[in-house]
Structure 1
Amino acid sequence: MAEVDAIGAASGATSASTGQTATDAFGMGFEDLLRIVLTQLTYQDPLKPMENFEFVSQLAQFSQIQQTQTMSERILGILQAQGANQATSVLGRTVDVPAGQATISGLVESISFQTGEPRLTIKTSDGRTISNIALSSVSRIALED
Structure 2
Amino acid sequence: MPVDSIGSVTGGSQTDALANSKTINQDDFIKLFLAQLRFQDPMEPVDNREFLAQLAQFSSLEQSRQTSQNTSDLLTMNSATQAVSLLNKQVDVQGLAAPMTGQVIAVAFTSSGPTLSVKDGTGAVTTDIRLSQVSLVKP
State TM-score, norm by structure 1: 0.76
State how far apart, in whole Å, the 2-side matches of 1:39 and 1:49 are. 13
Aligned length: 122
User: Which has the larger helix fraction?
Assistant: 1
Are residues 1:60 and 2:56 paired? yes
- Does structure 2 retain, via aligned residues, the 8 Å contact 1:88–1:111? yes
Q: State the structure with more CA Rg.
A: 1
Q: Which has the higher contact order (CA 8 A, sep 6+)?
A: 2
Identity %: 34
Q: Which runs of 5+ in 2 are unaligned?
A: 1-16
Corresponding residue to 1:137 among 117, 133, 137: 133
Give the aligned partner of residue 32 of structure 2: 36
Shift of 1:28: 2.7
State how far apart, in whole Å, the 1-side matches of 2:50 and 2:135 are. 55
Deviation digits for residues 24-60 of structure 1, max 9, x if unmatched? Answer: 2x54322112211110001001111111110100111
Give the aligned partner of residue 86 of structure 2: 90
**In structure 1, the residue corresponding to 2:99 is in which secondary structure?**
strand
State how far apart, in whole Å, the 2-side matches of 1:131 and 1:67 are. 39
Q: Which runs of 5+ in 1 are unaligned?
A: 1-19
State how far apart, in whole Å, the 1-side matches of 2:123 and 2:31 are. 62
Shift of 1:75: 0.7
Partner AA of 2:60 in structure 1? Q
**In structure 2, the residue corresponding to 1:28 is in which secondary structure?**
coil
Which segments of structure 1 move beyond 3 Å, counting only runs of 4 or more?
Answer: 20-23
State TM-score, norm by structure 2: 0.79
Deviation digits for residues 39-98 of structure 1, max 9, x if unmatched? Answer: 000100111111111010011111112111111111111111111111111111011112
- Change over 3 Å in CA distance of 1:53–1:23 after alignment to 2: farther
Aligned ranges 1:96-107 → 2 under 5 Å: 96-98=92-94, 99-100=96-97, 102-107=98-103
Corresponding residue to 2:47 among 48, 51, 56: 51
Shift of 1:114: 2.4
- Does structure 2 retain, via aligned residues, the 8 Å contact 1:95–1:107? yes
Aligned-residue CA RMSD in angstroms? Answer: 1.9
State how far apart, in whole Å, the 1-side matches of 2:18 and 2:49 are. 26
